[in-house]
């Protein structure tokens, strides 16, 4: 469709990644398929009640998470239609509220300590550096792989990491003492003349699959399936549950464009519920 091609070009101009663009277009294609079955009129006649009907369809046929993702995609598309003058009124679909507490996706502190112990016992400076960077900064595994030597600034009592996140957006993340020490120790043994990427393995710069393999081999020793994303969730959970840390600070650390996205980390452990209820006499 010509309209979808125009929208695709708009997303490209916005600097969206190819993966993100493909996801948006899939969602919009499904929406337009549904819309065309409801009416013989073109998209320029779109009405609010039709968007509300589509929301009900999504709520009926899929999970709340999937439905809300599709609703977000449709809202972006509808905003673009309005900006282009294709529709005359500004329309919007409300997301679906999920009252179910989010399941904790990180590592319990005791498990994280066991994992850390195994990594330190092995003594591989590269692996320690990987673990401590993920554990202490909450960066995504893709961001970890993209770190170059020039992105790191370390002084005696301070450290800064420049991170290239989604959509090529840059942010600055503080390096605490543990992260700084892990980096400095690794740099002492890091292979020379192997390019600018920080993390170098036997075959060159590490990619995300190599990071996953490294973490899983240690997780296997303690009987836990471990991923980089779990360490990101673990840090976020600690920050969310620290009353002295502002939610805008957490947003900045984790590199989320929208404050509302931080809500995915407001997770509840079964232990949290138990402690809350046991505290009541």
256 a catalytic residue: yes
**Which candidate in 7, 24, 218, 265 is catalytic?**
265
Residue 140 appears among annotated catalytic residues: yes
- The enclosing H or E element of 215 equals helix 208-221
What DSSP line would sit under 18-51, residue for residue?
Answer: HHHHHHHHHHHHHHHHHHHHH-SS-GGG--HHHH
Residue 207 burial by Cβ neighbours in a 10 Å radius (0-12, 13-18, 19+): middle
Which among 112, 103, 94, 187 has a CA at the least distance from the CA of 147? 187
Structure tokens at 210: 């190599």
Task: With CA atoms as reference, report the closest residue to 157 among 175, 182, 132, 133.
Answer: 175
Could you tell me how many residues make up the chain?
281
* Active-site residue identified among 54, 232, 233, 237: 232
Catalytic residue among 76, 125, 229, 238: 229
114, 127, 140, 180: which one is catalytic? 140
Instruction: Single out the catalytic residue among 166, 171, 174, 238.
Output: 166
265 tagged catalytic: yes
257 is catalytic: no
- Known catalytic membership, residue 229: yes
Q: Which residues are known catalytic residues?
A: 140, 166, 229, 232, 256, 265
């Amino acid at each position: 469709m010509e309209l979808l091609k125009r929208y695709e070009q708009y997303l490209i101009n916005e600097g969206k990644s190819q993966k993100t663009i493909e996801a948006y277009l899939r969602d919009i294609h499904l929406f337009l398929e549904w819309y065309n079955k409801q009416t013989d009129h073109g998209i320029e006649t779109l009405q609010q009640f039709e968007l509300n009907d589509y929301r009900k369809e999504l709520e009926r046929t899929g999970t709340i998470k999937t439905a809300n993702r599709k609703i977000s995609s449709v809202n972006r598309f509808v905003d673009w239609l309005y900006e282009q003058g294709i529709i005359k009124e500004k329309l919007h679909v409300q997301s679906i509220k999920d009252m179910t507490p989010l399941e904790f996706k990180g590592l319990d502190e005791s498990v994280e300590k066991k994992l850390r112990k195994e990594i330190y016992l092995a003594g591989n400076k590269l692996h320690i550096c990987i673990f401590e960077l993920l554990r202490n900064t909450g960066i995504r595994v893709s961001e970890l792989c993209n770190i170059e030597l020039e992105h790191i600034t370390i002084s005696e009592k301070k450290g800064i990491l420049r991170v290239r996140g989604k959509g090529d957006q840059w942010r600055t993340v503080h390096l605490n003492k543990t992260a700084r020490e892990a980096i400095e120790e690794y740099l002492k043994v890091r292979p020379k003349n192997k390019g600018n990427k920080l993390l170098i393995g036997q075959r060159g710069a590490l990619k995300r699959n190599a990071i996953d393999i490294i973490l899983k081999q240690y997780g296997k020793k303690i009987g836990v399936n471990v991923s980089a994303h779990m360490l990101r969730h673990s840090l976020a959970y600690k920050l969310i549950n620290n009353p002295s840390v502002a939610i805008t600070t957490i947003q900045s650390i984790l590199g989320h464009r929208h404050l509302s996205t931080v809500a995915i980390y407001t997770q509840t452990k079964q232990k949290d519920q138990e402690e809350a209820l046991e505290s009541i006499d």
